[in-house]
Amino acid sequence: MHIVVCIKQVPDSAQIRIHPVTNTIMRQGVPAIVNPYDMFALEEALRVRDRLGGGKVTVLTMGPPTAEAALRKSLSLGADDAVLLTDRLFAGSDTLATSFALSQAILRLSEQEPVDIVFTGKQTIDGDTAQVGPGIATRLNLNLLTYVAKIEKVDPEAGSIRVHRRAEGGVQVLEAPMPCLITLLEGVNTLRHGSMPDMFRAARTQITRWGREDAGIDDPTRIGLKGSPTVVTKVFAPKPTAEPATQLEVAGRSPADVAADLVERLFDDSGDLERLLLRQAG
Amino acid sequence: MNANTENARPKGRRFQLDPKFEAYKGVWVFVEQERGEVHPVSWELLGEGRKLADQLGAVLGAVILGGGEEEALADALEKACEEAIGFGADLVYLATGEVLADYRNETYTSALTDLVNTHKPEILMLGATTLGRDLAGSVATTLGTGLTADCTELDIDPETRSLMATRPTFGGSLLCTIQTLNYRPQMATVRPRVMAMPAVDPARSGEIVRSGFGMSEDDVLAKVLEFIPDEAREGAQLPYAEIIVSGGLGMGKPENFKLLFDLAGVLGAEVGASRPVIQAGWVEADRQVGQTGKTVRPRLYIAAGISGAVQHRVGMEGSDVIVAINSDPQAPIFDFATYGIVGDAVQIVPALTEAFRKRLAVTRAAS
Ligand SMILES: Cc1cc2nc3c(=O)[nH]c(=O)nc-3n(C[C@H](O)[C@H](O)[C@H](O)COP(=O)(O)OP(=O)(O)OC[C@H]3O[C@@H](n4cnc5c(N)ncnc54)[C@H](O)[C@@H]3O)c2cc1C
Ligand SMILES: Nc1ncnc2c1ncn2[C@@H]1O[C@H](COP(=O)(O)O)[C@@H](O)[C@H]1O
């Protein structure tokens, strides 16, 4: 069983600041983290391998050379192998170009050892599109299983997998042949701690780096800005539309008085609201 | 979309639409239905699609995929077609087939791309639901075209006639406008409740174009073994709630959320929460409002002990009336709320529950 997990290194958006005058993103000093959603995918992949009592988990990322850190982290948690897809030509890729590059790399990995399952996270916190997974599956003609909450059964003999996926209004139980691509829901497992030997191995391993040609991409117009049909034409700050709140008088009044004041105002503003409340509460 | 927004292409570069795409005309909305029930986001998108189509002087089409044996289901699909027309569609493309009864990526991708390749719309919009996102990514990849996810604003660039899709980026602190200049159709997804629900006009007329989808069950690889419907829980209805009472970390401790449930009980409201509250496990995850939670648009949103960070704000600023209760007069939520109360939410919330209860009793007695 060969499992590939796609992970992405992203800026810790909690720490991104916007320059107050120029409205540009101040990236300096913003630490990079592994996209939190992808860690659930990694953990699930490791669990499938461990449950089957064997197999290989390869982590794959496309990004700048510094994204190596994300791969080392994955190795320290128990992943078997890691590939960094890095090339200046990949810069500026949108989801279509990204899924193309990743699927080419997965094809190469498959030549080394046939891939049975590809895992991705639900979405990234910077791209935030949830489209790269479906994109890879479509290109490689893998059965696409999105928003998977539980892997019920993996049957390598029959070459099939049974999963529970989150659908609108319920859970769909699906059985599909492998190879397949799974995008994993967040919060469905708890990330393990790395073992000592794995940590040493992660620190020592020489990470495989693939450029465009190593990944078997002959046509450079299919990656990076050239391979991206979407173009960002404008970046701007949200306009401060709203007026500040009308503050209710609180000094020297009891909570009950303030509350009664608010209810009066709400009902005076809109008779509709009163009718709605009567209906809802009725 | 380009994750790296700083790499935006230089302005002034010329774009010429490939002549093979010139035949692509009209705006389409994918109308999402499951077991005959249409997701309201589809109607919201038809409202938005109508505006775009009018701007382009183009036709608005709705696509409905479905099937199955039951007669009730067939009736529901017919009704959905009529409704789509009422919500603004000029044309409804209804494709039916046995394999379209349950949503599966494989069959729906194939059916939808077939329709697009046959009728060639210039814009295709889908709801950013679990189904819509799953489908949109595959269809865009199959067609090799651009897709912009989770748009909050859609407009037409008068110069190029192309779609300008605006979405938040970097956790909502900035907005970016994304265009697909050289490929068609231009695809976009929009989350539920981001666009307003249009008025329905039952007298509108339109045409229904029917087709059969011939794939047989033997050719489909993924099998649906079972569908386990969610228990009817309140939290799930958050996006369509008319009144929401939300709490943040300022509620102090999980037990204090009971005060919010009490108020919600009197108002017939749903309870929402900020992300840290979810992360701390005080309430269920599907109650989260904001950038990485639900977008809501109630008539009344009461925010208790919520600071009003931009990631929360983008999910609820479409509310008609916002009441903010916060002990800090400088809290950012007061910058955009309708009414502000500076005070301790733990005291104000129960007082509000009482005040609403009394007032409603009076109105009821009088009527
Ligand atoms: C990528 C990303 C995505 C995010 N997505 C979301 C999202 O979807 N939704 C979301 O909500 N957040 C989201 N966040 C988090 C967001 O940035 C804020 O951290 C969060 O909204 C703050 O929650 P809060 O207001 O409950 O807590 P705090 O910011 O801690 O604010 C608590 C407030 O309560 C007030 N308070 C304290 N005691 C009392 C009292 N007794 N009575 C009344 N008021 C009191 C305080 O003055 C303060 O204003 C996201 C962040 C990132 C980085
Ligand atoms: N550059 C990348 N390298 C590896 N995996 C990626 C990359 N970008 C996206 N992914 C995977 O695709 C998923 C969805 O990403 P997105 O479409 O950006 O929301 C992520 O959770 C990752 O698993």
**What pLDDT, on a 0 to 100 scale, did the predictor assign at position B146?**
94
What mean pLDDT is predicted for residues B4-28? 68
Q: Is the pTM of this model over 0.90?
A: no
A168 forms beta bridges with none
The SS3 of residue A1 is coil
* Residues in chain A within 8 Å Cβ distance of B192: none
Confidence band, pLDDT 50/70/90 cuts, at residue A278: confident
Mean pLDDT lowest among A10-24, A181-195, B67-81, B283-297:
A10-24
**What pLDDT, on a 0 to 100 scale, did the predictor assign at position A113?**
96
Percent of chain B with pLDDT over 90: 77
pLDDT digits (tens, 9 = 90+) for B128-143: 999 999 999 999 999 9
* Residues in chain A within 8 Å Cβ distance of B339: 245-248, 262, 265-266
Comparing A132 with A30, the larger pLDDT belongs to A132
Q: Which residue has the tokens 């790395």?
A: A194
Q: Determine if residue A147 is left, alpha or beta; phi over 0 gives left, psi from -120 to 50 gives alpha, anything else beta.
A: left
Omega of the bond prior to B185 within 30 degrees of 0, cis?
A: yes
Percent of chain A with pLDDT over 70: 93
Structural element, H or E, at residue A280: helix A271-281
Comparing B173 with B208, the larger pLDDT belongs to B208
pLDDT digits (tens, 9 = 90+) for A100-132: 999 999 999 999 999 999 999 999 888 778 899
Spatial separation of the C-alpha atoms in residues B173 and A124, rounded to whole Å: 16
In this structure, the residues whose C-beta lies within 6 A of any atom of ligand 1 are A 13-14, 125; B 171, 248-250, 252, 274-277, 288-293, 305-307, 309, 311-312, 315, 325-328, 331, 344-346
Distance, in angstroms, between B340 CA and closest chain A CA? 5
The SS3 of residue B113 is helix
Per-domain residue ranges for chain A? 2-222
Spatial separation of the C-alpha atoms in residues A78 and B149, rounded to whole Å: 33
> Could you identify the atom of ligand 2 that is nearest to the CA of residue A121?
21
Residue B305, burial from CB neighbour count under 10 angstroms (0-12, 13-18, 19+): buried
Spatial separation of the C-alpha atoms in residues B149 and B190, rounded to whole Å: 7
**What pLDDT, on a 0 to 100 scale, did the predictor assign at position B7?**
40
Spatial separation of the C-alpha atoms in residues A144 and A101, rounded to whole Å: 18
What mean pLDDT is predicted for residues B56-81? 94
The one-letter amino acid at A36: P
Which of A146, A169, A176 has the CB atom closest to B134's CB atom?
Answer: A146
Q: Do residues B320 and B298 touch, judged by C-beta distance below 8 A?
A: yes
Q: Do residues B226 and A182 touch, judged by C-beta distance below 8 A?
A: no
Q: What are phi and psi of A37, to 5 degrees?
A: -65, -30
Q: What are phi and psi of B108, to 5 degrees?
A: -70, -40
- Asked if B130 reaches chain A (Cβ–Cβ under 8 Å), the answer is yes
Going by their DSSP bridges, the two strands B223-229 and A170-177 should be labelled as antiparallel
Which of A24, A168, A248 has the CB atom closest to B341's CB atom?
Answer: A248
B216 forms beta bridges with none
**What pLDDT, on a 0 to 100 scale, did the predictor assign at position A196?**
96
Pocket test for ligand 2, best of A33, A73, A122, A132 (most atoms within 8 A of CB): A132
A2-222 maps to which CATH number? 3.40.50.620
Q: Which residue of A has its CA nearest to B221?
A: A176
Pocket test for ligand 2, best of A87, A98, A230 (most atoms within 8 A of CB): A98
- What is the ipTM, given to two decimal places? 0.84
- Asked if A252 reaches chain B (Cβ–Cβ under 8 Å), the answer is no
Q: Do residues A184 and A40 touch, judged by C-beta distance below 8 A?
A: yes
Spatial separation of the C-alpha atoms in residues B367 and B131, rounded to whole Å: 45
- Is the per-residue pLDDT at B8 higher than 50? no
- Asked if A203 reaches chain B (Cβ–Cβ under 8 Å), the answer is no
DSSP B211-276: EE----GGG---EEEEEEEPP--GGGGGGG-SEEEEE-GGG-SGGGHHHHHHHHHHHT-EEEE-HH
Residue B212 vs residues A254, A276, B83, B93: alpha-carbon distances, Å? 67, 44, 21, 11
Distance, in angstroms, between B279 CA and closest chain A CA? 10
Q: What are phi and psi of A42, to 5 degrees?
A: -60, -50
A176 forms beta bridges with A161
Measuring from atom 31 of ligand 1, which residue has the nearest CA? B307
Across the interface, do A138 and B229 touch by the CB < 8 Å criterion? Answer: no
- Asked if B150 reaches chain A (Cβ–Cβ under 8 Å), the answer is yes
* Residues in chain A within 8 Å Cβ distance of B275: none
Q: What are phi and psi of A15, to 5 degrees?
A: -110, 10
Closest CA to B47 of B239, B196, B204: B196
